[in-house]
């Protein structure tokens, strides 16, 4: 039953009669139809021209071949429920009157004409991908492939301002090839758009434009299609070769951990020293002080793949002491966030393979642990940590994957108010996800206190590389009503010559550790 003081946002879909719903569009319709904040109340045929040039035969042919090669990696979505809903929607008459509904949401190839915009109280919204309406081919365009990420924006047109303006923009790390990239960003954009619609339903105000929309790219010419085809073949062969090498325990790329001393606001990777090579992958390091000694916990994994486990070692001048196995499970473990509460020591490792969040308590530090609490059963969480603010409120910061085809933890940050490591009380933040974007959202460590300020290490996932760079975000606001942060500094492989990626940071006092990937 709807609240008469807060009626749902009335949405009309702008779609052609012959338009076949894509998987992402069907997912969006299903999500909106289940949301009490909105109601899909009709459909309308847009009368404006096509939003994109037709694709050349050469491009369509190669994309068809690529789709045949990689299509099995894209889990199909069941569109039947959304199709039935669409078929039952009433057509909105052109003379329905000004403000007949709240928002027009473009799904098809055509949009509303200028004279139709007055029908919608908040105008018309539509998604674009790198400036294009269809994300399925944009990563074949040379200028777009040269960018670090795929930019996605929500544009708005209104009767008082019919020219489109950008009201929200984010970006996603590309996948190998245009087909996977297109399917991935289309799915990810559903959550991005739904979040914006939910905010509009709450505020009931036309969002302020934040910029000029991206210019729609022209489809690539034959020469560019051939160039893309060659690049796709080389990338596919390189990834196939690397998988073979991993199975033979001869992987070229290895993650290492480095240790340095200095202020968290002025870290120089070139001044850090690598910890001794343990003949295995070392990643996600966390520092923890115990009885006057500084320990480093980290993910360990064989170079041939398989599940990771947690190891620990004393941090000593010039290196570390002998490593010990802290925790191993029959599923993959990483990101060992270790903290204390009272006399107890806890660990929250990443356990997304078990589809839940796990809190472990030490019974004999650092090698004996018992399962203390679990939460989020059936969900995929990554890079989770707890933080208690100055008012005594505990916060869980995590990267959930809300997906049907592409499990991804790099594009949204979620906050939950919790009662502490017991996890008996969990309340989602009303602004969740509080951060969007592959360049900023994923946690790269736990909250750092430094000189009265709070900092959140985050990953910069760009250029198709997981953990390409490392950010330090200063937290400006963290409370029950909002979350704000700003970029304090950013490190990329150019800041540590010989590296391919840097993606995690932990700090205790003036001691810090980070991990980096090299060959």
Question: What pLDDT, on a 0 to 100 scale, did the predictor assign at position 99?
Answer: 78
Q: How many CA atoms lie within 13 A of 186 on its CB side?
A: 26
Instruction: Please give the class, per CATH, of domain 251-518.
Output: mainly beta
Beta strands at 254-261 and 161-172: parallel, antiparallel or unpaired: unpaired
Say whether 143 sits in a helix, a strand or coil.
Answer: helix
Beta strands at 334-341 and 344-350: parallel, antiparallel or unpaired: antiparallel
Question: What pLDDT, on a 0 to 100 scale, did the predictor assign at position 50?
Answer: 54
Q: What is the pLDDT of residues 313-344, one digit of tens each?
A: 999 988 899 999 999 999 999 999 999 999 99
pLDDT of 2 higher than 80: no
Q: How far apart are CA 487 and CA 283, in angstroms?
A: 23
Topology agreement, domain 9-243 and domain 251-518: no
CATH superfamily of 9-243: Formyl transferase, N-terminal domain (3.40.50.170)
Beta strands at 293-301 and 281-290: parallel, antiparallel or unpaired: antiparallel
Q: How far apart are CA 461 and CA 410, in angstroms?
A: 7
Q: How far apart are CA 132 and CA 144, in angstroms?
A: 11
Question: What pLDDT, on a 0 to 100 scale, did the predictor assign at position 508?
Answer: 97
At residue 251 the predicted structure's pLDDT band, cuts being 50, 70 and 90, is low
**Angstrom distances, CA of residue 259 to CA of 275, 323, 513:** 7, 16, 4
Beta bridge partners of 297: 286, 312
CA 310 to chain centre: 25
Beta strands at 381-388 and 394-400: parallel, antiparallel or unpaired: antiparallel
pLDDT exceeding 90 applies to what percent of the chain? 82
Please answer whether residues 66 and 140 qualify as being in contact, where contact means their C-beta atoms are separated by less than 8 angstroms: no
pLDDT of 81 higher than 90: yes
Residue ranges per domain, the chain?
Answer: 9-243, 251-518
Say whether 64 sits in a helix, a strand or coil.
Answer: helix
Enter the DSSP assignment of 214.
P
Confirm whether pTM is higher than 0.85: yes
The whole-number average pLDDT for the span 31-42 is 96
At residue 49 the predicted structure's pLDDT band, cuts being 50, 70 and 90, is low
Enter the DSSP assignment of 429.
-
pLDDT of 214 higher than 60: yes
Q: How far apart are CA 494 and CA 500, in angstroms?
A: 9
CB neighbour burial string for 336-348, b if at least 16 within 10 angstroms, e if fewer: bbbbeeeeebbbb
């Amino acid at each position: 039953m709807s609240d008469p003081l807060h009626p749902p946002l009335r949405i009309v879909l702008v779609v052609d009669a012959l338009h076949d719903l894509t998987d992402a569009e069907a997912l969006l319709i299903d999500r909106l139809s289940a949301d009490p904040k909105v109601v899909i109340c009709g459909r309308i045929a847009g009368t404006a021209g096509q939003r994109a040039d037709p694709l050349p035969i050469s491009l369509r042919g190669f994309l068809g071949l690529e789709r045949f090669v990689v299509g099995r990696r894209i889990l199909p979505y069941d569109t039947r429920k959304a199709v039935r809903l669409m078929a039952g929607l009433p057509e909105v008459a052109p003379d329905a009157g000004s403000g007949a509904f709240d928002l027009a949401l473009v799904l098809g190839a055509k949009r509303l004409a200028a004279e139709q915009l007055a029908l919608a109280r908040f105008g018309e919204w539509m998604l674009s991908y790198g400036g294009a309406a269809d994300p399925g081919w944009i990563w074949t365009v040379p200028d777009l492939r040269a960018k670090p990420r795929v930019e996605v924006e929500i544009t708005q047109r209104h009767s008082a301002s019919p020219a489109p303006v950008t009201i929200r923009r984010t970006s996603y790390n590309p996948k190998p090839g245009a087909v996977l990239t297109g399917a991935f960003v289309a799915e990810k954009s559903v959550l991005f758009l739904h979040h914006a619609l939910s905010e509009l339903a709450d505020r009931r105000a036309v969002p302020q434009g934040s910029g000029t929309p991206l210019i729609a790219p022209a489809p690539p010419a034959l020469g560019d299609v051939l160039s893309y085809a060659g690049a796709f073949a080389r990338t596919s062969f390189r990834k196939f070769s690397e998988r073979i090498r991993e199975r033979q325990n001869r992987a070229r790329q290895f993650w290492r951990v480095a240790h340095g001393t200095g202020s968290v606001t002025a870290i120089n990777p070139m001044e850090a020293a690598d910890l001794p090579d343990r003949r295995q992958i070392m990643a996600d390091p966390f520092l923890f002080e115990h009885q006057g000694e500084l320990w480093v916990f980290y993910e360990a994994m064989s170079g041939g793949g398989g599940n990771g486990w947690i190891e620990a070692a004393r941090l000593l001048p010039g290196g570390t002491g002998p490593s010990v196995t802290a925790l191993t499970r029959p599923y993959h473990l990483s990101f060992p966030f270790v903290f204390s509460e009272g006399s107890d020591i806890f660990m929250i490792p990443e356990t997304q393979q078990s589809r839940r969040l796990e809190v472990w308590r030490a019974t004999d530090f650092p090698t004996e642990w018992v399962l203390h609490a679990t939460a989020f059963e059936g969900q995929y969480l990554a890079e989770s940590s707890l933080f208690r603010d100055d008012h005594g409120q505990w916060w869980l910061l995590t990267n959930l994957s809300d997906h049907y085809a592409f499990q991804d933890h790099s594009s949204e940050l979620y906050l939950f108010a919790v009662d502490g490591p017991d996890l008996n009380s969990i309340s989602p933040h009303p602004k969740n996800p509080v951060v969007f974007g592959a360049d900023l959202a994923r946690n790269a460590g736990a909250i750092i206190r430094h000189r009265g300020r709070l900092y959140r290490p985050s990953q910069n996932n760009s250029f198709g590389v997981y953990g390409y760079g490392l950010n330090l975000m200063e937290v400006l606001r963290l409370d029950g009503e909002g979350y704000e942060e700003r970029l304090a500094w950013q490190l990329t492989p150019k800041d540590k010559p010989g590296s391919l990626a840097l993606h995690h940071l932990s700090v205790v006092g003036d001691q810090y550790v980070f991990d980096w990937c090299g060959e």
